[in-house]
Amino acid sequence: MAGGMDLGTGGKSGKKPLDTTINLVPFIDLMAVTIVFLIMTAVWTQLGRLQVSQSGNSASEEAPPQTQLQPITVLITEKELKITVGGAQLDPMPITRDDKQRLEVTRLMDKLKELKTQQPEQNAITLSTEDAVRYEDLVRVIDTCIGNQFPSVSVSPASS
Amino acid sequence: MAIVAPGKRYGKRIEHSKVLSHAGGHKMLFADLNVTPLVDMFVILVLFLIANFSATGEILSMSKDVQLPEAANTEELVMAPVVVVSKEQVIVSGTVIGRVDDLTREDYLNIPPLEEKLREMKKQFEDLHNAANDTGAFKGDVNIQADKMVQFRIVKRVMFSCASAGYGNISFATMAKGEEKKTETASR
């Protein structure tokens, strides 16, 4: 019998009855309260963060260590992306968008992969961004850089 | 002629008498409800909800004015002050700092009221932790929750103000998409 315990009072032998049942009512109450609490506090949108640093605003004010690595800079404008490695500028990539108006990053990914194979030790990249660039496009480029093994992303305003 | 199951057949008078019935011919009053499937369902539901529990909702509150951009290579959000940049205004912990239209027109590199507010928040944090002898707890983390259509000219000013106020670890809040989401913040 659910919700109660069969005491098994019958019988004259005095043995303990074997057919006992557990009272499930408090357990069900606890479960119901837990479910309501968890559903009310649940976050249905998954949020994340992309860590960036601001180029030229180093808190330590120390000069960067002298290395053989060539600095990589991506200039983001409204119309194109220009990659500069050391002092050499690569071919500019015109900005194209998909049907959802998101920035197409396939060519940028290929270039970054190529640069990573050339300089496997290089982890830093600077994104020089023009004022009129949409925040969504900047985030997409940062995401692409981090996804292509450039975890240290600095953002700086493009010099006009 | 009607078809009947094989076996003993009593007469109508005996069938209606108390001889063959269990409780005097009446329905039993005690009915058992089988709660096992209900308990099973509750257990599965609780396990699913606990496995998917996320505390990021306490850090950022989503609003209709701010549509976050999507990113795949994200880390987990950290508890830090949040600067909200919607299409219309800049807000820090419920305080409106300024209107985006006005900020777009100005040529300054920083946003003085934002910087002031962040300095105040930093001081409060440090006072609180100094009182508890917990020096060095301030890491300068700040989350920027900006709308995806906002121009970089506003984000740039917000970033500069954060850095000037001592919040150098800037994170852009994004919607995490796909299975590439990293959860390596524990190592940080």
Please give chain A's pLDDT, 160 residues, in tens: 444 445 545 555 667 777 777 888 899 999 999 999 988 888 777 788 898 988 765 444 455 555 678 899 999 998 899 999 988 888 889 988 888 888 888 999 999 999 999 888 889 999 999 989 999 999 999 999 999 999 999 999 887 6
* A125–chain B nearest CA distance, Å: 16
Average pLDDT over residues B125-133: 84
Residue B22 pLDDT exceeds 60: no
- Model confidence at B134, in pLDDT bands (50, 70, 90)? confident
Residue B40 lies in a domain: no
> Does any domain span residue B135?
yes
For the segment B8-30, the average pLDDT, to the nearest whole number, is 64
Share of chain B above pLDDT 90, in %: 34
Residues of A in contact with B57 (CB under 8 A): 41, 43
Name the one residue in this structure whose structure tokens are 């953002």.
A155
The answer to the question of residue A32 being in a domain is no
Nearest partner of B72 among A48, A28, A9, A59, judged by Cα: A48
Give domain status of residue A9, yes or no: no
| pTM, to two decimals | 0.72
- A50 belongs to a structural domain: no
Q: Determine contact, residues B165/B122, Cβ cutoff 8 Å.
A: yes
Residue A75 lies in a domain: yes
Q: Give me the pLDDT at residue A153, please.
A: 92
Distance from C-alpha of B12 to C-alpha of A159, rounded to nearest angstrom: 105
Q: Does residue B42 lie within any of the structural domains? A: no
> How many of the other CB atoms lie within 10 Å of CB of A51?
19
Is residue B24, in this structure, part of any structural domain at all?
no
Q: Please state the domain count of chain B.
A: 1
Please check whether residue B75 lies inside any domain of the structure. Answer: yes
What ipTM goes with this model? 0.72
Identity of the residue in A134, A138, A143 whose CB atom sits nearest the CB atom of B73: A143
Distance (Å) from the C-alpha of residue B126 to the closest C-alpha of chain A? 18
Instruction: Report the DSSP beta bridge partners of residue A80.
Output: A94
The whole domain housing A122 covers 68-157
Beta bridge partner(s), residue A48: B174
Model pLDDT, residue B19: 59
Tell whether B116 is covered by a domain: yes
Average pLDDT of the segment spanning B56-66: 77
- Identify the pLDDT of residue B63: 79
Please name the residue of chain A whose CA is at the shortest distance from the CA of residue B173: A49
Going along chain B, which residue ranges are E strands?
Answer: 70-71, 82-85, 89-92, 95-99, 141-146, 169-176
pLDDT band at B25 (very low <50, low <70, confident <90, very high): low
Whole-angstrom distance, CA of residue B68 vs CA of residue A139: 10
How much is the pLDDT for A75?
A: 93
Q: What distance in Å separates the CA atoms of residue A36 and residue A65, rounded to the nearest whole number? A: 55
Phi, psi angles (nearest 5°) of residue A125: -145, 140
Range with the lowest mean pLDDT among A55-69, B23-37, B81-95, B132-146? A55-69
A54 part of a folded domain:
no
- Provide the shortest C-alpha distance from residue A131 to chain B (in Å): 4
- Evaluate whether residue A133 is within a structural domain: yes
pLDDT for the residue numbered A61: 47
Cβ-proximal residues to A69 (8 Å cutoff; 6+ apart), any chain: A119, A121, A122
User: What local confidence, expressed as pLDDT, does residue B60 receive?
Assistant: 78
Contact predicate B145/B60, CB 8 Å: yes
A3's tokens: 């919700």
Which residue of A47, A98, A130 to mutate against B (max B Cβ within 10 Å)? A47
pLDDT band at residue B186, thresholds of 50, 70 and 90? very low
The mean pLDDT of chain B is 81
Residues A93, A81: contact at Cβ < 8 Å? Answer: yes
Helices assigned H by DSSP within chain A: 25-41, 106-118, 135-147
Residue with the larger pLDDT of the pair B168 and A54: B168
Per the structure, how many domains does chain A have?
Answer: 1
Q: Which domain holds residue B66?
A: 56-187
CATH number, position A86: 3.30.420.40
- pLDDT tens digits, B150-160: 999 999 999 99
pLDDT band at B142 (very low <50, low <70, confident <90, very high): very high
**Position A147 in a domain:** yes
- Distance CA(B145)–CA(B173), nearest Å, equals 5
Which pLDDT belongs to residue A58? 46
Cα A5 to Cα A23: distance, rounded to the nearest angstrom:
7
In a domain, B113, yes or no: yes
- As a whole number, mean pLDDT of residues B107-115 equals 87
